[in-house]
Amino acid sequence: MSLPAPATALLVAEAVTAGYDPDLPIVRGASLRVAPGEILAVLGPNGAGKSTFIKALAGIVPIGSGHVLLGDHDITHVAPHLRPRMGLAFVPQTENVFGTLSVTDNLKIAGDALADRTVAASRMAEMFDAFPDLAHARALQAGRLSGGQRQMLAVARALIGRPRVLMLDEPSAGLSPKLVSEVFRRLDRIRESGVAIVLVEQNVRAALALADRALVLVEGLNRHEGLARSMADDPVVAELYLGIHRRAAEALV
């Protein structure tokens, strides 16, 4: 497998700066591109700005400079609530379901963004078929779901709009190894349907095993990029990435 030609990239971010305070950019010129049917893993040490980057792509952290393209559209400054309708879905890391609402209402909310009510209803039925656990819990408040079910609900919510690009922030966080592989199997199948996936992960090994390409972000900048397979075996990357980790861990002790 080779790097996708630029023409096939569906989501393109170029030299993006973003942060919570205009004077203090966290993402300092990061770039990524991802093609249909491809999984891009975004890796990097704690505090590298991975979450901030992906939130900027979702439109909920302001972008200072650079631009974001979805297909032919420049979406750099498009309001976040319009992005799911354009085919860009985002699953945040924490608080990614509405805990006080029922499972059904969580999915209906995503369906409400679609123009057609009957389409929304049939998509919801599809989700309940694809995630039987959710179907059994449909009347339950989402806050009462288990961690794994909650993650499934968050993914299902994002899929209701049939996104062309799906972005996820650490979907494996807090899940047991068994559930992690279940979530990743789902992502694999979603990729097979032609969706472009941006996967921010701490679980480097699992992410590299699943992804096609990977991007290592350090201090808000692209540090390393390449095929996931070769990165998994690359001692330099492992040292770069894990070394930073080891030092951070030592600093804590």
Ligand X SMILES: Nc1ncnc2c1ncn2[C@@H]1O[C@H](COP(=O)(O)OP(=O)(O)OP(=O)(O)O)[C@@H](O)[C@H]1O
Amino acid at 89: A
Cβ distance to other proteins smaller for residue 96 or 223: 96
- Is residue 90 part of the contact set for other proteins (CB under 8 A)? yes
Give residues with Cβ within 8 angstroms of 34, minimum separation 6.
Answer: 4, 9, 10, 11, 40, 165, 196, 197, 198, 213
- Is residue 47 part of the contact set for ligand X (CB under 6 A)? yes
Least distance between other proteins and beta carbon 33 (Å): 22
- Is residue 222 part of the contact set for ligand X (CB under 6 A)? no
68, 16 Cβ separation under 8 angstroms: yes
Q: Could you say which residues in the range 48-107 bind ligand X, by CB under 6 A?
A: 48-52
Pick one of 40, 57, 110, 197: the residue that binds other proteins (CB under 8 A). 110
Instruction: List the structure tokens of 127.
Output: 């989700």
Pick one of 28, 29, 36, 105: the residue that binds other proteins (CB under 8 A). 105
- Is residue 101 part of the contact set for other proteins (CB under 8 A)? yes
174: left (phi over 0), alpha (psi -120 to 50) or beta: left
- Quote the CA–CA distance of 51 and 249 in Å, as a whole number: 20
Least distance between ligand X and beta carbon 16 (Å): 13
Site string for other proteins, 10-49 (x = CB under 8 A): ----------------------------------------
Residue 80 near which of Mg ion, other proteins, ligand X, none (CB within 5-8 Å, type-dependent): other proteins
Least distance between other proteins and beta carbon 200 (Å): 15
Q: Could you say which residues in the range 181-220 bind ligand X, by CB under 6 A?
A: 202
Least distance between other proteins and beta carbon 109 (Å): 5
Q: 3-state SS of the chain: helix, strand, coil percent to 5?
A: 45, 25, 30
First to last CA, the chain: 42
Residue 128 near which of ligand X, other proteins, Mg ion, none (CB within 5-8 Å, type-dependent): none
Buried b (16+ CB within 10 A) or exposed e, 46-62: eebbbbbbbbbbbbebe
Environment class of 242 (CB within 10 Å of its CB; exposed 0-12, middle 13-18, buried 19+): middle
Pick one of 17, 51, 104, 106: the residue that binds Mg ion (CB under 5 A). 51
Closest Cα partner for 57 from 219, 218, 167, 157? 167
Which residues bind to ligand X, rule: CB under 6 A?
20, 26, 44, 46-52, 202
Which residues bind to Mg ion, rule: CB under 5 A?
51
